[in-house]
């Protein structure tokens, strides 16, 4: 029996993404992309509208806060008044730059977790159809199961959004302090922080495409979490392509919600194989 190392599990999960594309093509399931595209159009439209409203509101209030601070720090009668105009331009420009970076980061995070929160039923359906063709096991459609899949996706998204956002803020503070206190080690600390965030993000998405497989087999939450930990390298390989594409402007908003929920779901089933799907992977 072939022994899988963490590296081979990781690579096999990445290769399964490539095999998923071929499997979808060979089995004439390209229409699945159309289903995902319809979902993506709705998702991107709602996300764009909501983020634009938030963007306008935050920018106005941040600029007002900056101007109020300038009025307090440099009153008109002070000797600094002649520099007030120049200082205002510099500070507002700095605010805009920092704000743009923050909103870019926030849009990526919100888009990703909106996908995770709402695409659950689609992931479960694609995963189920793929497993059916590989193993011959058929599952009857149920609205109760569909609603359960949606609620599970929303719960996963909320939980991991809080975890990843909290970790991001913590690492940002650590990195900022490292540049102030130990600048010679700051580049290494910054790189390690980015790697840690990439690993967490990849694990989250890997779990979302593997979890429906384990739930169909009647595994409880505790068993599924233990299963996820035992296959963590496979989950990393399954989620890494999604994480990487989510960091690319335009692609993350347009292409990722269309392609990856389909390819990653099929890839998760293919990476386990017929023996594991019909047997016990624990």
**Which tokens go with 15?**
């290769």
- Non-local (6+) Cβ contacts of 242 within 8 A are 112, 202, 205, 256, 260, 264
Grade residue 236 by pLDDT with cuts at 50, 70 and 90. very high
Q: What percent of the chain has pLDDT over 70?
A: 70
Q: Whose CA is closest to 119, among 227, 35, 20? A: 35
Q: Average pLDDT in the 39-58 region?
A: 67
Q: Average pLDDT in the 167-179 region?
A: 80
- Please state which of the ranges 81-90, 203-212, 250-259 shows the lowest mean pLDDT: 81-90
**Which tokens go with 270?**
């293919």
First to last CA, the chain: 16
Q: Average pLDDT in the 28-40 region?
A: 85
Among 53-67, 88-102, 148-162, name the most confident range: 148-162
**Tens digits of residue pLDDT in 141-158:** 777 877 877 787 788 778
Domain regions of the chain by residue span: 6-278
**Which tokens go with 141?**
């459609």
Q: Which residue's entry shows tokens 């507002």?
A: 92
More confident residue, 216 or 234: 234
Q: Average pLDDT in the 72-88 region?
A: 54
């Amino acid at each position: 029996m072939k022994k899988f190392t963490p590296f081979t599990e990781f690579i096999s999960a990445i290769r399964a993404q490539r095999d998923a594309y071929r499997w979808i093509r060979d089995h004439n399931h390209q229409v699945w992309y159309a289903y995902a595209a319809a979902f993506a159009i709705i998702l991107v439209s709602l996300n764009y509208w909501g983020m634009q409203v938030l963007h306008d509101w935050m920018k106005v209030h941040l600029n007002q806060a900056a101007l109020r601070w300038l009025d307090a720090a440099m009153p008109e009668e002070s000797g600094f008044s002649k520099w007030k105009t120049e200082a205002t331009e510099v500070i507002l420009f700095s605010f805009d730059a920092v704000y743009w970076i923050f909103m870019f980061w926030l849009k990526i995070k919100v888009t990703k977790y909106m996908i995770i929160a709402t695409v659950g039923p689609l992931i479960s359906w694609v995963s189920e159809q793929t497993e059916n063709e590989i193993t011959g096991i058929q599952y009857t459609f149920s609205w109760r199961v569909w609603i359960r899949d949606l609620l599970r996706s929303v719960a996963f998204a909320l939980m991991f959004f809080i975890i990843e956002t909290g970790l991001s803020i913590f690492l940002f503070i650590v990195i900022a302090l490292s540049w102030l206190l130990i600048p010679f080690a700051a580049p290494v600390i910054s790189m390690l922080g980015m790697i840690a965030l990439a690993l967490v993000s990849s694990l989250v998405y890997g779990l979302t495409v593997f979890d429906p497989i384990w739930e169909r087999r009647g595994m409880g939450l505790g068993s599924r979490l233990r299963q996820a930990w035992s296959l963590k390298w496979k989950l990393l390989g399954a989620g890494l392509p999604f994480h990487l594409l989510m960091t690319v402007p335009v692609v993350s908003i347009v292409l990722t919600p269309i392609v990856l929920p389909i390819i990653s779901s099929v890839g998760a089933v293919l990476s386990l194989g017929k023996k594991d799907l019909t047997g016990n992977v624990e």
